[in-house]
């Protein structure tokens, strides 16, 4: 299989009656999914969309979202998935910038589409995904009116399959162009790393518009079942695992934190679960130990990656998670693992030389999973992909066996009195406090030190901690210049759609009105 | 990993002290193998070999053979592995035709190299693989005199990595050009199909010059161990599995037949064995049943493929082999399985249309594993790869679930009295006779019928059968026109280097002096 839509086509041939996609009351076999993909591909082309043109989707998870992805791949149309947490202005920017000509909107976003419509000059077609809507085509009607004849698209594995805008940590959102081959290669990396087989099935709780949609591709590659969840609710998630006998779930570390304190956790039969993977942000070591303790028989896997790598770069695999005997074993549990089978990693200094074990450098990666580039931004593309390597902007050290220790985002590093402080290191220590649920360490303006280290902490319900306690804990484990000068307690922290804490937003309010340090 | 030499490079980084290649007294770790590969790549380039130039190897299996493959991939040199069963004339033809500029010869073939040398105008370098030899460079000296500095080659995954000549069933040998990507993709297909993990290791008993070298690539891809065997001797093979705790062995069906009657079979501890795969020619159903009975706990896998597909096309996997309850299950055990994950198969009629279930057509295949083409033969390349599909020359039917039943080679079909007879079908019946070890059914000239069906049979030692018995058995199971008109008993049958029976050679003697039917 080379093109994403080979997946439903192949399995519809080999295993037509196997139930491969479950969402709420919808249960699709490979034959049904494949036919709906053909209908949608035929329907979009009949509407006048041409291969290479851009169609956006603004929707919660559903089977239709996956049909859309597969149909785009089949017809050679470029999918532009939209983050539903963005503001109207941001969405308009992306729709304009991407030159999108058709917009599919889920039930929750019909109003958004309506509001945006007068401002969108290039969008010619509006399709309502989940039922009839005024002045919009109805998705199911489009399907039923279209031929189920096998659609023959251009089949170019190196053509852009998805144009995925990533958060503008350095300004405006950037459109990451990923080809069919990028996505298929990254999925293979995860598949091999986690040993996914036909006996597995995944529960997808992260949004499909995000590159975190890879678990669906991984289980579908092997011909097996993906169950989609629309909104994140732990009770619903656990009940779904129990009912659908899912073997795998991918999550972000914050979900693990909530999972472990979920009061009804033990009421569910989770015996089908074989593997939990986590990604998106570093897993605090203390949290990982608790997760291992709670689920001693699970294969745990940590993925490190980014949209530009579709996303697979490194993996801390189940074997790494099993080894906890030596200090080295335990230290490695706090690493991002090692380069996965499909990707090569080099951590380099500013001259582009591979750093020695222990030295901090930037993570760079190459492989067939690395993006084609940024849409309409050849300068940034050339810079980020210089020398044939993706420059991730993540700083790390590597040990003698290739384990990668992320010290932090290049942009998140705090410079306090000329010393480099990596927020993650400080957060790791704060997590040792039993009352801490979440925290973010940022640099705030300081007249003496340039930047001062500040911790923003969310406490577990019914538990307490003081600023002094937190600072004392840090003093005990860290060099003096690294400990927070101040601690603020908050009710919640800003997060991305997949639950990644947004340090940038935490930081912003302290820099308001100043010569803002954009990370 | 995209280029073959990424394999030793990656694993030397991730798992430097792991023993990955064992041959007789030689045991190499990834670090050692990778360094030797760098030395050889540097050495060949220092000799004056340029990327894209052709270097041939004429040798039995050894660690040096694999070093040669990896070094060629690393330096961008094209490897031309030679079949040591070929005559001097055939070797000369291939060396001339391939424009080979350097020849590596193993100890057993120094004389051959010496005899050929005066006739080879283009070969500039002669390298003795296994020790000093007159007027030849010594392989180990070349390595020790060369730098172990990481070699930086052109890294073009789509460049020719191997030029592999296949037997001339239709005339002169053809040079199949396989790229790095072809080989890596085919290996992935086998890896996923058989669920190979880091816990596996393979014993390689088939010659490395043949596309059957894939198991080494498969286990090496996962970073684990390949044990190489030089010559085929069952006692040695079984002792090696026992000593090295190999989990996998790939073989041809004829080896399975010999294995099952090997008197000392039960004296060996084969408990490490998890999987046996077989390929190269169809496995007679009766033999497969005996194999399952003898090794009830093994994962059995049958690969169907050809050099032009590097070689993976279809796989009858362990799950297929486990199912024997219904008639359909048992019938499927006689199939070649289904298209593997990396390859798409269509069985087509002469108009290129997909045949209906049960209809005979030609197997065609596409995927990233399909060869670039035939060296210096654009016409044949265009014909065999027409429409973007590899035309295999194998005739088959397909059932409703995609199981492929090979009826025979297009060229081996017998036309007797206007009726098509597929030799394999007749051979399957003859194998039911308990005294039959091997057989080949061919068409011989017949004044009345054009061709008459003839069986050439090898009996098991100490057992007997008569011509009448064999013909009666066939009459019982087959339409009258399919039964052999005559049976000849032979001491052995001609085979290829991997043990595939050569029907063409069996047939030839009956057609001597006639308007020969070349298959």
A75-98 per-position pLDDT tens digit:
999 999 999 988 898 899 999 999
H helices within B305-399, ranges in order? Answer: 318-322, 327-332, 378-384
Residue B378 pLDDT: 97
**Cis peptide leading into residue B147 (ω within 30°):** no
CA quadruple B335, B336, B341, B345: dihedral sign: negative
Rg (CA), chain B: 23
Q: What is the pLDDT of residues A136-155, one digit of tens each?
A: 999 999 999 999 999 999 99
Domain B182-409 has CATH 3.90.1660.10: no
Give the integer Cα–Cα distance in Å for B507 and B195.
40
Task: Give the residue from chain B lying closest to A10, CA to CA.
Answer: B344
Residue A239, pLDDT > 60, answer yes
A218 neighbourhood in chain B, CB within 8 Å: none
Give the single-character DSSP code of A282. Answer: P
Residue A252 pLDDT: 84
CA distance to partner chain A, nearest, from residue B36 (Å)? 20
Give the single-character DSSP code of A428. Answer: H
Answer whether A13 sits within 8 Å of B188, measured CB to CB.
no
Answer whether B10 sits within 8 Å of A192, measured CB to CB.
no
Section B424-450 average pLDDT? 89
Q: What is the pLDDT of residues A368-405, one digit of tens each?
A: 999 999 999 999 999 999 999 999 999 899 998 899 99
3-class DSSP state for residue B474?
Answer: helix
Q: Give, for A494, the enclosing helix (H) or strand (E).
A: none
A1 neighbourhood in chain B, CB within 8 Å: 341-342, 344, 367
CA quadruple B225, B230, B236, B238: dihedral sign: positive
By a Cβ cutoff of 8 Å, what residues of chain A touch chain B? 1-2, 6, 10, 13-15, 157, 188, 191-192, 195, 197-198, 221-222, 319, 338-339, 341-342, 344, 367-368, 401-402
Q: What is the pLDDT of residues B470-489, one digit of tens each?
A: 999 999 988 888 999 999 99
Q: What is the pLDDT of residues B94-125, one digit of tens each?
A: 999 999 999 999 999 999 999 999 999 999 99
DSSP B161-198: EEEEEE--TTSS-EEEEEEHHHHHHHHHHHHHHHT--T
Residue with tokens 């044939």: A388
Give the integer Cα–Cα distance in Å for B411 and A84.
60
3-class DSSP state for residue A355?
Answer: coil
Burial class of A135 by CB neighbour count within 10 A (0 to 12, 13 to 18, 19+): exposed
Task: Give the residue from chain A lying closest to B191, CA to CA.
Answer: A192
DSSP B109-154: GHHHHHHHGGG-SS--EEEESSS--TTSEEHHHHHHHS--SPP---
Answer whether B402 sits within 8 Å of A13, measured CB to CB.
yes
B338 neighbourhood in chain A, CB within 8 Å: 14
Q: Kindly report the CATH number that applies to the domain delimited by A413-511.
A: 3.30.300.30
| Total length of chain A | 519
Percent of chain A with pLDDT over 90: 76
- Which of B157, B198, B342 is the closest to A1 by Cβ? B342
Q: Where in chain A is the domain with CATH 3.30.300.30?
A: 413-511
Give the integer Cα–Cα distance in Å for B362 and B381.
17
Residue A263, pLDDT > 70, answer yes
Find out whether B218 and B187 touch, Cβ atoms under 8 Å.
yes
CATH of B6-156, one of 3.40.50.620, 3.30.70.3000, 3.40.50.12780, 1.10.10.10: 3.40.50.12780
Residue B519 pLDDT: 32
Answer whether A14 sits within 8 Å of B401, measured CB to CB.
yes
Of the pLDDT bands very low, low, confident and very high (cuts 50, 70, 90), residue A411 is confident
Answer whether B10 sits within 8 Å of A222, measured CB to CB.
no
Tally of CB atoms within 10 A around A261 = 12
User: What b-and-e string marks burial along B411-421, b requiring 16 or more CB atoms within 10 Å of the CB?
Assistant: ebbbebeeeeb
Q: CA separation (Å) from B158 to A118, A157, B14, B181, B371?
A: 48, 14, 26, 6, 10
Give the integer Cα–Cα distance in Å for A212 and B380.
45
Bridge partners, B363 (sequence order): B347
Bridge partners, B166 (sequence order): B174
Give the integer Cα–Cα distance in Å for B215 and B301.
12
Section A178-199 average pLDDT? 96
Strand arrangement, sheet containing A361-366 = A344-348, A361-366, A390-398, A404-409
Q: Give, for A291, the enclosing helix (H) or strand (E).
A: helix A285-294
CATH topology of domain A6-12+23-179: Rossmann fold (3.40.50)
- Which of B222, B344, B368 is the closest to A10 by Cβ? B344
3-class DSSP state for residue A286?
Answer: helix
- Which of B14, B157, B368 is the closest to A338 by Cβ? B14
- For an interface test with B, the pick among A154, A181, A192, A346 (most B C-beta atoms closer than 10 Å) comes out as A192
B221 neighbourhood in chain A, CB within 8 Å: 341
Give the integer Cα–Cα distance in Å for A57 and A59.
6
By a Cβ cutoff of 8 Å, what residues of chain B touch chain A? 1-2, 6, 10, 13-15, 157, 188, 191-192, 195, 197-198, 221-222, 319, 338-339, 341-342, 344, 367-368, 401-402
Which tokens hold the place of B164?
A: 């592999």
Residue with tokens 């090696």: B240
CA distance to partner chain B, nearest, from residue A170 (Å)? 31
Residue B171 pLDDT: 61
Residue B518 pLDDT: 36
Rg (CA), chain A: 23
Which tokens hold the place of A77?
A: 């149309």
Task: Give the residue from chain B lying closest to A388, CA to CA.
Answer: B155
Of the pLDDT bands very low, low, confident and very high (cuts 50, 70, 90), residue B169 is very low
Give the integer Cα–Cα distance in Å for B351 and A289.
63
Question: What are the CB-based long-range contacts (under 8 Å, 24+) for A319-325?
Answer: A319/B198, A321/A292, A324/A292
3-class DSSP state for residue B262?
Answer: coil
Answer whether A197 sits within 8 Å of B197, measured CB to CB.
no
A341 neighbourhood in chain B, CB within 8 Å: 1, 10, 221-222
Between CA A169 and CA A179, with CA A173 as vertex, the angle to 5 degrees is 115
Q: How many CA atoms lie within 13 A of B23 on its CB side?
A: 20
Which tokens hold the place of B25?
A: 């007294």
Find out whether B435 and B459 touch, Cβ atoms under 8 Å.
yes
Find out whether A18 and A219 touch, Cβ atoms under 8 Å.
no
Percent of chain B with pLDDT over 70: 97
Residue with tokens 């290039």: A122
Q: What is the pLDDT of residues A97-106, one digit of tens each?
A: 999 999 999 9
CA quadruple A473, A477, A480, A484: dihedral sign: negative
Residue A515 pLDDT: 52
Q: Where in chain B is the domain with CATH 3.40.50.12780?
A: 6-156, 182-409
Of the pLDDT bands very low, low, confident and very high (cuts 50, 70, 90), residue B71 is very high
What are the phi and psi torsion angles at A121 (to 5°)? -75, -30
Which tokens hold the place of A368?
A: 């067939």
Which tokens hold the place of A356?
A: 């020695």
- Which of A2, A221, A342 is the closest to B367 by Cβ? A2
Give the integer Cα–Cα distance in Å for A380 and A173.
12
**Comparison of pLDDT for B161 and B282, the residue scoring more:** B161
Burial class of A18 by CB neighbour count within 10 A (0 to 12, 13 to 18, 19+): middle
Q: CA separation (Å) from A306 to A217, A372, B369?
A: 16, 14, 28
Task: Give the residue from chain A lying closest to B341, CA to CA.
Answer: A1
Residue B87, pLDDT > 90, answer no
- Which of B15, B191, B402 is the closest to A14 by Cβ? B402
Of the pLDDT bands very low, low, confident and very high (cuts 50, 70, 90), residue A171 is low
Answer whether A222 sits within 8 Å of B402, measured CB to CB.
no
Residue A4 pLDDT: 97
Give the integer Cα–Cα distance in Å for B6 and A509.
47
- Which of B13, B222, B342 is the closest to A402 by Cβ? B13
B339 neighbourhood in chain A, CB within 8 Å: 10, 13-14
H helices within B222-348, ranges in order? Answer: 234-244, 253-260, 285-294, 318-322, 327-332
Find out whether B215 and B190 touch, Cβ atoms under 8 Å.
yes
Average pLDDT, chain B: 92
Give the integer Cα–Cα distance in Å for B166 and B94.
10
Residue B517 pLDDT: 42
- Least trusted range by pLDDT, from B54-68, B165-179, B314-328: B165-179
Of the pLDDT bands very low, low, confident and very high (cuts 50, 70, 90), residue A419 is confident
Answer whether A342 sits within 8 Å of B1, measured CB to CB.
yes
Answer whether A402 sits within 8 Å of B14, measured CB to CB.
yes
Tally of CB atoms within 10 A around B147 = 12
Residue B283, pLDDT > 80, answer no
- Least trusted range by pLDDT, from A8-12, A283-287, A292-296, B238-242: A283-287
Residue A205, pLDDT > 70, answer yes
Q: Where in chain A is the domain with CATH 3.40.50.12780?
A: 6-12+23-179
Of the pLDDT bands very low, low, confident and very high (cuts 50, 70, 90), residue A424 is confident
Residue A448, pLDDT > 70, answer yes
User: Taking the model in full, what pTM does it have?
Assistant: 0.87
B3 neighbourhood in chain A, CB within 8 Å: none
């Amino acid at each position: 299989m080379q093109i994403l839509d080979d997946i439903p086509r192949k399995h519809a041939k080999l295993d037509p009656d196997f139930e491969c996609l479950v969402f709420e009351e919808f249960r699709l076999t490979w034959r049904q999914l494949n036919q709906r993909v053909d209908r949608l591909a035929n329907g979009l082309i009949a509407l006048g969309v041409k291969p290479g043109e851009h169609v956006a989707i603004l929707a919660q998870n559903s089977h239709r979202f996956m049909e859309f992805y597969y149909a785009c791949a089949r017809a050679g149309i470029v999918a532009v998935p939209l983050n539903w947490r963005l503001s109207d202005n941001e969405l308009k920017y992306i729709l304009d910038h991407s030159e999108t000509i058709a917009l599919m909107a889920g039930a929750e976003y019909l109003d958004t589409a309506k509001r945006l419509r007068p401002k969108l000059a290039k969008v010619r077609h509006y399709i309502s995904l989940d039922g009839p809507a005024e002045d919009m085509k109805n998705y199911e009607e489009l399907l039923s009116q279209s031929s189920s004849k096998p659609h023959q698209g251009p089949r170019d594995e190196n053509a852009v399959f998805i144009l995925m805008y990533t958060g503008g940590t350095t300004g405006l959102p950037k459109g990451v162009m990923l080809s069919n081959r990028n996505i298929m290669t990254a999925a293979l990396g995860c598949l091999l790393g986690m040993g996914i087989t036909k006996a597995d099935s995944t529960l997808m709780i992260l949004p499909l518009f995000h590159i975190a949609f890879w678990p669906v591709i991984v289980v579908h590659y092997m011909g097996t079942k993906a169950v989609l969840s629309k909104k994140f609710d732990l009770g619903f998630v656990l009940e779904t695992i129990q009912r659908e006998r899912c073997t795998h779930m991918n999550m972000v570390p914050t979900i693990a934190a909530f999972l472990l304190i979920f009061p009804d956790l033990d009421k569910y039969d989770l015996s089908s679960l074989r593997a939990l993977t986590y990604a998106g942000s570093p897993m605090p070591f203390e949290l990982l130990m608790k997760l291992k303790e709670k689920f001693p028989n699970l294969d745990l896997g940590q993925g490190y990656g980014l949209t530009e790598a579709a996303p697979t770069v490194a993996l801390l695999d189940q074997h790494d998670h099993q080894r906890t005997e030596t200090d080295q074993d335990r230290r490695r549990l706090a690493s991002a693992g090692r380069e996965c089978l499909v990707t090569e990693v080099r951590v380099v200094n500013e001259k582009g030389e591979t750093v020695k074990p222990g030295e901090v450098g930037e993570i760079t990666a190459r492989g067939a999973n690395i993006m084609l580039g940024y849409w309409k931004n050849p300068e940034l593309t050339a810079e980020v992909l210089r020398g044939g390597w993706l420059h991730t902007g993540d700083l790390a050290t590597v040990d003698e066996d290739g384990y990668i220790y992320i010290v932090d985002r290049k942009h998140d590093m705090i410079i306090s009195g000329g010393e480099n402080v990596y927020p993650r290191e400080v957060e790791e220590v704060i997590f040792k406090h039993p009352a801490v649920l979440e925290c973010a360490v940022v640099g705030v303006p300081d007249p003496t030190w340039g930047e001062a280290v500040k911790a923003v902490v969310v406490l577990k319900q019914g538990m307490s901690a003081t600023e002094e306690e937190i600072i004392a804990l840090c003093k005990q484990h860290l060099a003096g210049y690294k400990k927070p000068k101040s601690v603020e307690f908050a009710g919640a922290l800003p997060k991305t759609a997949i639950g990644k804490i947004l340090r940038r937003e935490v930081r912003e309010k302290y820099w308001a009105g100043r010569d803002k340090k954009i990370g």
